[in-house]
């Protein structure tokens, strides 16, 4: 486990893993539902934001469905039940692909 993420090696590994998963999905006609991905709360915040956005975009760009998992710090469980500023900023960047007619 690393506390930071975003080196050239990290990016290369992420791309290779998602490309392999997408290839497997196409080869076997199996959709990918990326359930419960999350960054550990002990990670350095900037790295966590980059990693979370990168995983989300890697999944969506390959036709996968990513589902963010909150481990107890990104969304308040008490009123006003709002995400942290970091999560709100990330979610604002996440755009669903346009529906095909």
What is the value of pTM for the model shown? 0.77
| 3: in domain | no
Domain count, the chain: 1
| 101: in domain | no
| 100: in domain | no
Burial of 53 (0-12, 13-18, 19+ CB in 10 A): middle
| 17: in domain | yes
Question: Which range of residues forms the domain containing residue 15?
Answer: 8-72+81-93
**Token duo for residue 39:** 């960054």
pLDDT-based confidence at 71, cuts 50/70/90?
low
| 99: in domain | no
| 15: in domain | yes
| 88: in domain | yes
| 1: in domain | no
Of the candidates 20, 38, 36, the one whose C-alpha atom is nearest the C-alpha of residue 28 is 20
The pLDDT tens digits for 1-54 are 677 888 999 999 999 999 999 999 999 999 999 988 876 666 677 887 888 888
């Amino acid at each position: 486990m690393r506390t930071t993420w975003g080196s050239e090696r990290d990016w290369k590994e992420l791309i290779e893993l998602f490309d392999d998963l997408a290839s497997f999905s196409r080869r076997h006609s199996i959709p990918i539902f990326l359930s419960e991905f999350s960054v550990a709360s002990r990670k350095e915040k900037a790295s966590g934001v980059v990693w979370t956005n990168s995983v989300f975009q890697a999944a969506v760009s390959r036709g996968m469905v990513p589902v963010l998992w909150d481990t107890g710090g990104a969304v308040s469980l008490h009123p006003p039940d709002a995400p942290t500023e970091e999560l709100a900023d990330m979610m604002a960047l996440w755009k669903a692909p346009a529906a095909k007619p």
